[in-house]
A and B are shown apart, each in its own frame.
Chain A
Amino acid sequence: MDILIFILKIVIPPVLVLNFIPLMIWFERKGSAYIQERRGPNRAHILGIRLGGIIHNFADVIKLITKEDIIPANVNRLYFIGAPLIAIFVGIVTIAVVPLADSVQIGEKLVHIQVADLNVGILYVFAISSLGVYSVLLAGWSSNNKYSLLGGLRAASQMVSYELALGLTVVGLFMLAESASVSEIVRHQGPHVLHWNFVQQPLAFIIFWIAVFAETNRTPFDLPEGESEIVAGYHTEYSSMKFALFFMAEYAHMVVAAALITALFFGGWQVPFLTTLDLKTQAPFYLYVTVLTVSFIALFFGLLLLSQFKKGKYRDARDYEVLVFGIPLFLLALAGGGSAIFTGPWALPEWGRVLFAALVQATSFGIKMTFFAFFFIWIRWTLPRFRYDQVMNFGWKGMLPLALLNIVVTGVVLLWKGNHHG
């Protein structure tokens, strides 16, 4: 049992991150299509099933993995191959300290729903992500290409500049939570929305949010790969799966960044206004409400899909895709909603309540995280790119002093509160 929990704890979080990557790519494509009024992926299908374009990602994977793996002449092979490995390594392991739900009591043991509850928590994330600089530096240097080198240098300078702001913002959170552990920061925020850190530390939140955009090299900070100036930056010479690793790493970084924003500033797994105890004791009622709500939503979407059915639209299997999803959705909605109405709130055993509470919390975490992950894409297709001097000046003259100011203000407010209430 212990071994099983141990293995699950290690495997589930990174696998969740990896599975989020295709979803992010789908967001990127569909999102850009909707934002800029053009067509997203709508052709690739398996037996007529397209899942709104998600199937396109499978085609991508097959394409990337079967492409020729070019290693140009005169590159330093060891570093050329090592660089994407560092990138994906950093992308995956940083999720380790983010809790997905409140700790669960199994038998005698308290199980944390995360890889490891480290007491240095967020410092671990910073330490590991500071190593991510080497992946871009090495990729740029080993490629033996001017654009790569320039891209690598730009990326490295930008990352270190914004890493400072990132490090300084969490100092305010440490002062409030009296701990560097992410789980402790989440627990300290509590279920009340006004006690979450984006209200308590608004300046820190905004700085952190901007800084992670720069750290992940996303628009408006995507100068390291600004295609109008330096082709594709540090991964110009990469092809096949090694390029895919950089690509995956970028999305993995975004996912982890979204998870961190959620955990540090938006209460992590906290469900608004409901403590873990509330969820457990009232589990039957909330389960009842959840089943009814989900059934209603499923009914709505099932009917929506069914109404889209038009024979002969594509004249192949794709015609029936809406039926394949619509009918089961409709039937499930009827079955779920009907059984909930007639058999009423069900009594739940203890383990059922615990499981329900954990699942609701994980869902709460997932919804918040997905929003922030989507936000990266929203920004990318909305804002233009900065100039490099703007990026550096903004980092050193805007973000750094503001982050320092935030610490001073937090300290003064804490002292003032201590004197007047303590």
Chain B
Amino acid sequence: MNNPYLAIFCLFLFALLLGVGFVIISHFIGQKRPSTAKMMPYECGIDPLGAPRAEFSVKFFLVAMIFIVFDVEVAFLFPWAVLFKGFMKAGLGGFVFAEMMIFMGILLMGLIYVYGKKALKWE
């Protein structure tokens, strides 16, 4: 009872049941009158043209890759931030700050490289 993660676990179940419940209720209450036209993909009233899963720009892919890199950086920043004042009290504030500045500085060069190559430029 006292473990907060048990509460979180129960909340997960609650949220899942709620969503599933809604879908099931509407499935039974809603009417069902399927027709061919209704089942077609929506394309503003005309018959669908071309493949629905067309290829898309490599930019999306690049965004995802660069996102991972910076997400990892953020993950490293969290423990540093929480401990920063603690290290300051121990007199190591400047040292720890410098550590993170080097870390962020190197990654910043990566970011500048991305800007320089115009890799994230959308047109």
Touching in the complex, A and B, CB below 8 A? yes
Cross-interface CB contact of A10 among B14, B40, B94, cutoff 8 Å: B14
A70 touches B39 (CB 8 A): yes
> Are B93 and A389 closer than 8 Å at their CB atoms?
no
Complex CA gap A401/B110 in Å reads 12
Contact string, A394-422, partner B, CB cutoff 8 A, digits 1/0? 00110011001001100110110010001
Q: Judging by beta carbons under 8 Å apart, are A241 and B22 in contact?
A: yes
For the complex, what is the distance from the CA of A18 to the CA of B48, rounded to whole Å?
A: 37
Q: Does residue A334 face the partner (Cβ distance < 8 Å to B)?
A: no
**Given A2-B1, A149-B54, A157-B60; A167-B23 close (CB under 8 Å):** no
Q: Which of B18-58 contact A (CB under 8 A)?
A: 18-20, 22-23, 25-27, 29-34, 38-44, 48, 50, 52-54, 56
- The number of residue pairs between A and B whose CB atoms lie closer than 8 Å in the complex comes to 216
Is there a chain B Cβ closer than 8 Å to A164's Cβ?
yes
The answer to whether A73 touches B42 (Cβ under 8 A) is no
Given A70-B34, A393-B121, A393-B122, the answer on whether A145 and B22 have CB atoms closer than 8 Å is no
Task: Tell me the complex Cα distance, A81–B16, Å.
Answer: 13
A88 and B5 contact, CB distance less than 8 A: no
Q: Are the C-beta atoms of B7 and A143 separated by less than 8 Å?
A: no
Chain A CB count within 10 A is highest, among B25, B48, B59, B82, for: B82
Measured CB to CB, the nearest residue on chain A to B108 is A404
If A145-B43, A150-B56 touch, whether A85 touches B20 (CB-CB below 8 Å) is yes
Most chain A CB neighbours (cut-off 10 Å) among B31, B74, B93: B74
**CB distance A14 to B15 under 8 Å?**
yes
Chain B residues with CB under 8 A of A164: 67, 70-71, 74
B25 (CB) vs chain A CBs: closest residue? A65
With A160-B67, A172-B81 as given contacts, are A68 and B19 in contact (CB-CB < 8 Å)?
A: no
Any chain B CB within 8 A of the CB of A74? yes
Q: Which residues of B contact A160 (CB under 8 A)?
A: 63-64, 67
Contact for A175 among B71, B84, B89, CB less than 8 A = B84
User: A residues within 8 A CB of B4?
Assistant: 115-118
A384 within 8 A of B: no
Q: A64-B26, A118-B5 known; 19 other A-B pairs, CB under 8 Å?
A: A6-B1, A10-B10, A68-B33, A85-B20, A93-B12, A96-B8, A96-B11, A144-B53, A149-B52, A153-B60, A161-B63, A163-B71, A171-B77, A174-B78, A174-B82, A175-B84, A241-B22, A389-B123, A404-B104
**For the complex of A and B, 6 pairs with smallest distance between CB atoms:** A241-B26, A116-B4, A389-B122, A174-B81, A167-B74, A73-B39
- A residues near B (Cβ < 8 Å) are 2-3, 6, 9-11, 14, 18, 64-70, 72-74, 81, 84-85, 88-89, 92-93, 96, 115-118, 123-124, 141, 143-147, 149-150, 153, 156-157, 160-161, 163-164, 167-168, 171-172, 174-175, 178-180, 231, 236-237, 240-242, 244-245, 388-389, 392-393, 396-397, 400-401, 404, 407-408, 411-412, 414-415, 418, 422
